Every structure is written in structure tokens, then in C-alpha cells.
Amino acid sequence: MSDEHTESTPAWIETSALTAPALLGASAGLLLGDLMHRGARRGIGIGLGILGVACLLPYAVGGVTWLVTGPRSRVGVRRQIQRIRDIGIGAPDHDEVDAELREQGLI
């Protein structure tokens, strides 16, 4: 299975979408930096830094999860093989011979 035919967002769009908030924050920091007292800047800077790290955690966790359980990992391959095996189980209530005999009126 090739990943070339899957519909996904182009890399440049994703990159620009991820860098836009950082650029906006940096520009706001440059514009408002001199207007605030030094103690206020430090507290707000630390708070925004913690908030930024908290916002990046879902991406980091998602990336690690993809590496561990993705389709090319050991766990992903096992899951795919189990799905293929489960497809063969089918509906246990369906019996082709019984259905054929009922159609012919023998049962």
C-alpha cells in the first residue's frame, strides 16, 4: 500500500499553520515589551511559556503514539493481521447449505 495516493494537507500549508501563532506571539511581544514593567513581563513570559509547552504536548503524544501503534510498527502490523483474520470469521448464524435447503423447500 502506497502512501502517495492518500489525501493530505501539503507540507507548506501545515508548516505555515503551525508557525503563524509563534510569529504572532513574537510580534506582540516585541510591540508590548517596553510598555510593561519588568516584573510583569517576567510573569507573563513564564506563563505563556508554560502554556506553549502545554499546547505542544498533544502533538508530541500523538507523534509518539503514531510511532508505537502506527501501521508500520510491530503493534500496527499485528493489529492489521488480526483484522484480516477477523474478517474471515463472518456471521456465525449464516449457513449456506441450510439456506439452500430452505429455498428448495426441503426443510
- Per-residue pLDDT tens digits for 75-87: 888 888 888 888 7
Domain membership flag for residue 99: no
Domain membership flag for residue 66: yes
Domain membership flag for residue 35: yes
Domain with 80, as residue range(s), is 9-90
Split into its structural domains, the chain has a count of 1
Domain membership flag for residue 19: yes
Give the contacts of 98 (CB within 8 A, at least 6 positions apart): 107
Domain membership flag for residue 64: yes
Residue for grid cell 484480516:
84
Cα–Cα distance for residue pair 40/76, rounded to 1 Å: 49
Domain membership flag for residue 95: no
**DSSP one-letter code for 34:** G
Domain membership flag for residue 86: yes
Give the contacts of 81 (CB within 8 A, at least 6 positions apart): none
For the entire predicted model, the pTM comes to 0.45
Q: Which pLDDT belongs to residue 90?
A: 63
Q: Which pLDDT belongs to residue 8?
A: 67
List of the chain residues with pLDDT < 70: 1-10, 89-94
Q: Which pLDDT belongs to residue 93?
A: 66
Q: Which pLDDT belongs to residue 1?
A: 46
Q: Which pLDDT belongs to residue 20?
A: 78
Q: Which pLDDT belongs to residue 94?
A: 65
Domain membership flag for residue 101: no
